[in-house]
Amino acid sequence: MTLPSDTLAELRQKYLDKLPVTLETLRFRYRNLSLSAWQPTEVQALHRLLRSLTRSADTFGLQWLSEVSRQLEIRLAELTKAETAPDEVHW
């Protein structure tokens, strides 16, 4: 199913309008992670947000953002597999 170009443009604009809030949410979650009080559920929540950003950015033609987000998503996935806090060098 293909959407009319004006509908797609409207959806893209709504996405772009909400993007600053999405990025601030990511920053907030990242800043609130603590190596000394590691919470795997918080790391997983951040990972889900990054995955969502990766996909949505690609959908709306922001390949550069999708790629950066994907790299962060991959790195965070590696850290979540360990289920223990990384050391400061790897964080």
- For the stretch 70-84, pLDDT in tens is 999 998 888 878 777
Spatial distance between the Cα atoms of 62 and 45, rounded to a whole number of angstroms:
22
Rounded distance, CA 24 to CA 49, Å? 11
Specify the pLDDT at position 19: 97
Give the global pTM: 0.83
The CA distance from 28 to 72, in Å, is 15
Confidence of residue 27 (pLDDT cuts 50, 70, 90): very high
Residue with tokens 């559920």: 41
Please return the burial class of 13, using the count of CB atoms within 10 Å of its CB with bins 0-12, 13-18 and 19+: exposed
Give dist(CA 40, CA 1) in Å, integer.
Answer: 39
Query: Widest CA span of the chain, in angstroms?
Result: 51
